[in-house]
Structure 1
């Protein structure tokens, strides 16, 4: 039986049986999430600090460095909602990195939001037991939820950060305002070049090659109320070869996306992002709090 979700107005429903795949679009309930047997953990047992962390803990506590660097013996894990519109390869990279021992193991993916319920990212989420919500509501997706209901659901799930991973809709201003400096996106060019409305997928790489640019690469940036204009957090440079096709360039850029986005998410979850007085975000390295990546 469906169980009401407090405050969100949404219902958590059992996962869709593969045999019912063709009936999904008919049977989808407005704003329904797929039930997960394994609920995301809000905290994880604290391990003994690594050498650098132990030294910092010792300085802070005046001890020998054997004391835990986590209050009460547990470390808070950040709760992540990922938005996708397609295959979701960046989503999968992030989800895998949040596993024990992964590069982003200080975070948990607790929801997948999509405007395309049959996309690869949504299918992966269902297989992984991650709740899926359809947003926004539209003529082609009447079962989608409105903005207010989405915000209630994210609050109900105690989401800390929102990550866009090839989500093609403009994020509503209400969401940006509800999560200040807490929404990230990845774009397949070196912003501010080749960004903005209409620049997505192979269109970006075709434009890069046609321009004669010698370099391209992914950009991780904070999200504001426009397409691709938020503050840059991290970039990777990829050479554009003389005989590149858009597909070849896209493959090399995507390879770097999977690395740079995971690193940025890890920094976000570990509170290693600092803001300069001029509003530029910087990532502290894991080993030296006075150095920046």
Structure 2
């Protein structure tokens, strides 16, 4: 049996979380992970360039029949784990229910704070600053039919500092939490999948 879990990363933008996974892989920190596919919902996403530089199979999937085309690709590449890394498309309940405990998302807050419909990107950090919290962070969780409602895999707290703007806070949360948590969570889930295979 394979000692790897095959991973697909779904992106829509620059791919900084994808890069964190690529870097940890290169450093040998993800022994059960095989990064088999990067798929983007946007044609010019910077993450596709990152995948190309790393020698990873990468594709852009157009809006029409997006989920059907994605399912076909996932099947073709025998994907075990789907990672949403700055992926801005909402997946349907039908799609999500096909992959129970196999879709992972990283969210830039400590769920259940500042999450759910409409909370993504800078909006999360704007809300945290406007509320006046002193600590925020990131959460990696399984995806289910409820936006940001799946079981939590890992969390890491990040201090909010005087003078933070949403952009400054976003960068700190990425550097101190997202880029560390996500690769580690992918490895944890991959190791569990490999162990279950016996």
- Common fold: TM-score over 0.5: yes
Deviation at 1:258, TM superposition (A): 0.5
| 1:264 matches 2:190 | no
Out of 154, 175, 180, which is 2:100 matched to?
Answer: 180
Alpha-carbon distance, 1:136 to partner: 4.9
Q: Distance in 1 between matches of 2:24 and 2:34?
A: 9
* 2:60 equivalent in structure 1: 134
- Superposition pairs for residues 11-50 of structure 1, below 5 Å? none
SS at match of 2:128: helix
Structure showing greater relative contact order (alpha-carbon pairs closer than 8 Å, 6 or more residues apart): 2
Find 1:88's aligned residue among 3, 6, 15. Answer: 15
Alignment of 1:46-195 (within 5 A): 76-99=3-26, 101-138=27-64, 145-195=65-115
Q: Secondary structure at the match of 1:217?
A: strand
How far apart are the structure 1 equivalents of 2:51 and 2:160? Answer: 33
| Structure 1 moving runs of 4+ over 6 Å | none
2: CA distance, partners of 1:133 / 1:226: 27
Match of residue 145, structure 2, among 215, 225, 230:
225
CA distance in 1, matches of 2:122, 2:68: 33
Q: Structure 1: 5+ residue runs without aligned partners?
A: 1-70, 139-144, 273-293
TM-score after normalising by structure 1: 0.62
| TM-score when normalising by structure 2 | 0.90
Task: Provide the alpha-carbon RMSD of the alignment.
Answer: 1.9
* Aligned-partner SS, 2:149: coil
Aligned positions, number:
193
